[in-house]
Homo-oligomer: A and B are copies of this chain.
Amino acid sequence: MRTYKLTIAYDGTRYQGWQRQTNTDNTIQHVLELSIGQLMGYPVKIDGAGRTDAGVHARGQVASVELSRMIPEKELCESINRYLPDDIRIAKVEMVPNGFHARKDAKGKKYEYYVDCREKPDVFSRRFCYHFPERLDLERMREATEYFVGTKNFTSFTDADISTAEKSVFREVFKIGIVRTGEKFRFTFYGSGFLYHSVRIIMGTLLEIGMGKRESVLLPVVFAAEDRKSAGFLAPARGLFLRKVYYQEDVI
């Protein structure tokens, strides 16, 4: 038995998210498991680092898989790609020590969110950014990002059903960066991990602040409320990319 770490890019537009589901085969995990299974000749299970929602993209999703034998990394990468549809690509395959688990061993994640504020939506980037034709104040949003940094209770910023959740609602955000290019914005989120919908709800909240509809000094009140309704809107999936997953050896 050998364990492999797969780095994966996908255009999430036509999928029901990463995670295998009982009611649909249209998930990225399922398509990957099917493809690797066809290649190997027996059913396989893979573990993904991030459970991206329906419509969310990835440039650096990571998954781990155990296979029965040693296969050269480059060969395995090319072979799997031959079985995949053209909106999912394995970018890299690395053989890793047995026991490696893409989700459990992850130390942090980087997400990117793209916003296009131009008046008209662009027909070529529309699948990969949120068209939001509003005036955004970059400095207001930058100030607001500071309120998210640190280890906090993100209950107000998730749609997860936390009443039944066994897991912690605390997460650490390391940094949120914003780069403006003309009327386009790229938001970068670095953190230990994010709760369900959390990046998209933080995004909606930052956009409301950027439009002047909300004040960043009130963000501590939003955190303290521990109530989803006190935070901003859910920004759409199409603008979101899982950019990178960090492990022990990576510098964040």
Contact = CB atoms under 8 A, between A and B. Distances in A.
A43 interface: no
A57 to B, nearest CB: 7
Contacts of A9: 122-124
Interface secondary structure of A, over-half rule: loop
Contacts of A81: 120
Interface in A200-225: none
B128 A10 contact: no
Interface stretch (A19-27, A86-94, A139-147, A185-193): A86-94
A121 interface: yes
Nearest to A120: B89
Contacts of A57: 124
Interface string A122-153: 11101010000000000000000000000000
A170 to B, nearest CB: 33
Given A9-B124, A89-B120, A89-B123, 9 more contacts: A9-B122, A10-B123, A81-B120, A86-B126, A87-B123, A88-B123, A89-B121, A89-B122, A91-B120
Closest 6 CB pairs of A and B: A11-B123, A9-B123, A89-B123, A87-B123, A86-B126, A10-B123
